[in-house]
A and B are shown apart, each in its own frame.
Chain A
Amino acid sequence: MGLLQNIIFGVITGSYIAIAAIGFNLIYGIVNMINFAYGEYLTLGAFIGLFAATALPIPLPVAVLVAMAGGGLVSIVLARAFFTPINQTGPVPLLLTSIGLGIALRNAIRLVAGREARYYDTETTTFRFDAVPDLSVGSVDLLGGFFVTSKQLIVVASAVAVFVAIYGLLTRTDVGIAMRAMGDDESLARVRGIDTQLIRDSVWVLAGILAGLSGVLLAIQTNVSATTGFSQILQILSAAILGGAGSPYGAIVGAYLIGIVLALSTAFLPSGMSGLSSAIAFGILILVLLVKPSGIAGAEVREA
């Protein structure tokens, strides 16, 4: 397989990570917490979508919308129940609470849905491009034949749609502009008459919607089980912090970087060591935190 094909894989992985990482970073920027339970929101979204598509049944695109709505609802309910009451206690208690909530949610899902993985019933068309020249440099083919599936195109298209929508939201709507103001300086935003609790709630809903979408896309690509989201949380977190804690646009850059690094290291690590690819992603994260702790774009995370 050529380099090109692996980069395509990386872009696809980066796409659903990016959607989730935007949500993760919105929470980080506005609520000022690292939400370790966020992976479970993806899992819940994926299961809600699966339930809507198979048990009801409704067409898949509608099921995706249902999953997004469900994700938003789950997110705001959980935030109201668990995070909002302890909003003032600082980042560490919030992080610990999210870890406890994540454990409870993950096991509750396992209890209800069982251990085995479930699959979305979808049809896939594969588009092949075999006539591309290899353009070899040493043992590496820079181009080479490649393929994409219709599912993969949907993932990338959804991500692009999300980016456009988020950009529009943050620049064109009152709520979005208030979100940015609050991310910059909460007390100033309050002085300006922004209802900070309302904005926080909106962020929770928005982050839940994004988690729901990302979860369904992930499940369509692979499958869904109780640990689907949890297995992604460190990648999401890496992407978000890599891009710059609190910055939704940075999250996009971070996500594609992580996605491509994951894909390339899976392809080029010696066989039997492909499991190290996530370790490489975390290694990059640690390196970024040490060299430029504010990420590609973002706030200071060292102590004064």
Chain B
Amino acid sequence: MSLLDRVPTGNGDLALLAGVCCVLIGGLFALTPLRAQLPSALYVFVEVGILFVIYGLLVLGLDLQYGHTGLVNFGHVAFFAVGAYGTAMLSAQDTFAGIGLGYPWPLALGVGVAAAALVGLAVSATSIRLRGDFLAIVTLAAAEILHSVFVNFEGIFGGNVGILGVPRPIAALAGDADTRLIATLLVIGGITLVSLAGVTRLTSAPYGRVLRAIRADELVTRSVGKSTVTYKTQAFVYGAALAGLAGGLFALYNGAVAPGFFTIQVTVTVWIGMLLGGAANHRAVLAGLAIIMGLRLISRFALDVTPVPSDVFASIRLIVVGLILVTVIRYRPAGIWGDAQELGVDR
């Protein structure tokens, strides 16, 4: 009775509640002998679903940077990778190549997130004053540099093999494969929902008002007394930290990290999801991302029913993805659910 009275509504509190519930239920699966059964047809959905909730953290961070503050970060994958490598290298035991220190995973995850935030701070401290398209180039180049560092310093980062032997805490606790997948989806999905609640609170508070003012006109925002560089730096670092969290969770789910998981393709996917859904609207960017990642499911199923080789399908999917980006910018610049007036693209 009294609990029901206090169920919050609106402004992301529902997401907070749902997120906490998801984590609790997921924890229940992992910690108790409770078992889940998954029809085999649904496996692929759950697998793509797990990737979606991880990428969901990426898109929430990117939307804080671009959608709300107007910072064009085209190297988002770099922070994802730093979080993943940081977590993996601190926690891995008996990695085949590179460094694995074997510390407890919660510590490793914390360090991974902190490392991503620090790299974000370094990038923003140097580049946050650059004009939009040049910030895009610097972040993109930074991501490429990082990628080749991961590939080339084999002794530290394990080269193309990456870091193996990363602990998988949920998999270790849950008994069978079905329970493992369900518990992972629930726990990570819950964390994403809690993050959604966090960014929603942030952006619906006066804090978000300052961010959107910076996107609209930085000089005016300064002339009414706001230290815009501080806000831009914060937004960039928070976005980077969320990406780092996504990377750490990915490492702990996947049990290994390698450069192949962290290509420019990740950045592009997240960007297209954000623009398709509608920037500056947290739920819209998640929905847009779901559509783009849903295309992967379609091509997987199409693969089963047609005799065409898989790389042909991959090419076709990417052609579609590229054209979606082009079409959205031209015909629906505010995305499907975005507010054209709020984004200043009304014409």
Contacts and interface: CB of A to CB of B under 8 A. Distances in A.
A is bound by B: yes
B286 to A, nearest CB: 20
Given A107-B322, A276-B149, A282-B145, A92 B133 contact: yes
B70 to A, nearest CB: 9
Given A86-B330, A92-B72, A93-B333, A103 B318 contact: yes
A274 B153 CA distance: 10
Interface residues of A, number: 48
Contact of B329 (A97, A108, A286): A97
Interface in B100-152: 126-127, 129-134, 136-138, 140-142, 144-145, 148-149, 151-152
Contacts of A168: none
Q: How large is the interface on B (under 10, 10 to 19, 20 to 34, 35 or more residues)?
A: 35 or more
Given A86-B329, A100-B325, A289 B130 contact: yes
A101 B322 contact: yes
Nearest to A105: B322
Contacts of B315: 107-108, 110-111
Contact of A302 (B131, B311, B345): B131
Interface string A137-175: 000000000000000000000000000000000000000
B154 A272 contact: yes
B323 interface: yes
Given A86-B329, A97-B330, A110-B315, A286 B141 contact: yes
B322 A100 contact: yes
Contacts of B321: 100, 103-104
A233 B137 CA distance: 12
Contacts of A110: 311, 315
Interface in B58-73: 72
Interface stretch (A59-67, A212-220, A234-242): A234-242
A93 B329 contact: yes
Interface string B299-328: 000000000000110111011011111100
B265 to A, nearest CB: 9
A278 interface: yes
B136 A303 contact: no
B296 to A, nearest CB: 15
Contacts of A89: 329, 333, 345
A302 B148 contact: no
A48 to B, nearest CB: 20
A302 B130 contact: yes
A283 interface: yes
A275 B152 contact: yes
A304 B138 contact: no
A116 to B, nearest CB: 12
Interface in B179-219: 218-219
Contacts, number: 136
Interface of B: 72, 126-127, 129-134, 136-138, 140-142, 144-145, 148-149, 151-154, 218-219, 268, 271-272, 275, 311-312, 314-316, 318-319, 321-326, 329-330, 333, 345
Closest 4 CB pairs of A and B: A100-B325, A104-B322, A103-B322, A282-B141
B141 A238 contact: yes
Interface of A: 33-34, 82, 85-86, 89, 91-93, 95-97, 99-108, 110-111, 115, 234, 237-238, 241, 245, 272-276, 278-279, 282-283, 285-286, 289-290, 293, 301-304
Contact of B137 (A34, A82, A106): A34
Contacts of A245: 134
Given A111-B315, A301-B131, A100 B323 contact: yes
Contact of B325 (A97, A237, A303): A97
B197 to A, nearest CB: 29
Contact of B149 (A279, A301, A304): A279
B145 A92 contact: no
A107 B133 contact: no
Nearest to A100: B325
